Amino acid sequence: MERDVRWVQRMRRYGAPVLILYVTAFIVALLLEKMWLIPIMGSVSFIIVVTGYKEMRIMWRVTEHPKAHRILMLQFVFELLDALLLTTLMVTLLTAEDLGLLIGLFFGIWGVLSPIRRKWFVKKLKQVGPELPTYEEVIEGRVPNGSSI
């Protein structure tokens, strides 16, 4: 678990340079060849899936309750859906614009509801185990019982 936490901390430390790299690649792709956006967004989707998996894996080890494990699996499924929607949106925007706009509307609504979903998952996990630390507390290394990861 410590290795996973260090991996997430390292990803957060390098997050700004990676974001700058992706924004630059996005702009270059828009200027030169729009079809390059498909692999760029595919790699972003892959990063979303990997970080979602790491979050599930870290939190899985924090709790042993089967209901919490089901909630974590459901949360990971929503992360997979986020990544799938992002890739589908980019592919359809570049190939079938009308359908891409419709999927973009759905993706926009899905994105606006993301904070509500996150709060719902945290609330459900707290109902299962009130002493359960949040993901942010685990990543920052502060756990309510005073021990550190």
The per-residue pLDDT for range 133-142, each reduced to its tens digit, is 878 888 887 6
Distance of CA 93 to the CA centre of its chain: 22
Say what the pLDDT of residue 21 is.
Answer: 92
Query: Which pLDDT score is estimated for 76?
Result: 93
User: What integer pLDDT is reported at residue 147 of this predicted model?
Assistant: 42
Dihedral over Cα of 28, 29, 33, 36: its sign: positive
Closest Cα partner for 89 from 118, 110, 70, 73?
110
11-18 long-range Cβ contacts below 8 angstroms, 24+ apart: 11/51, 12/139
Amino acid at 108: G
pLDDT at 149: 45
145: alpha, beta or left, given left = phi > 0 and alpha = psi -120 to 50? alpha
Q: Which parts of the chain have pLDDT scores under 70?
A: 142-149
